[in-house]
Amino acid sequence: MMLRASFALALLAAASVASFSSAPAQAQNRTTTGAIVGGVTGAVVGGAVTGSGTGALVGGAVGAGTGAAIGAQSDRNRRARSYYFWRRGNCYLRQSNGRVVQVNRRNCR
């Protein structure tokens, strides 16, 4: 009976994660998504390992915290990307806000 309940919970978790991943990429907040996915995964693993609701609760809390931390770091890294690149003999800088500006050629060397 417990195996059937764990399987149903895992199926419900997979369905909820699939519904979040169908949103447009610009609308997703990686911190929130990481917390949700981590919490659900942690709850499933915690419940399956211990066989109790307390294990699922603790696993969900730990998974949500870890997922939120990883998602927040991913958000920070995505915003901080700026780099120089060559295109058709000119040097450009892609800024962290997404703009591309032409800069002096010696920056690309």
Give the pLDDT confidence score for residue 26 in this predicted structure. Answer: 46
Distances (CA, A) of 5 to 1, 12, 57: 6, 11, 15
Give the pLDDT confidence score for residue 16 in this predicted structure. Answer: 58
Encoded amino acid at 73, one letter: Q
Give the pLDDT confidence score for residue 27 in this predicted structure. Answer: 42
Give the pLDDT confidence score for residue 23 in this predicted structure. Answer: 46
Phi/psi at 99 (nearest 5 deg)?
Answer: -70, 150
Burial of 107 (0-12, 13-18, 19+ CB in 10 A): exposed
List the beta strands (DSSP E) in the chain. Answer: 83-87, 90-94, 100-103
Residues of the chain with pLDDT under 70: 1-28, 74-82
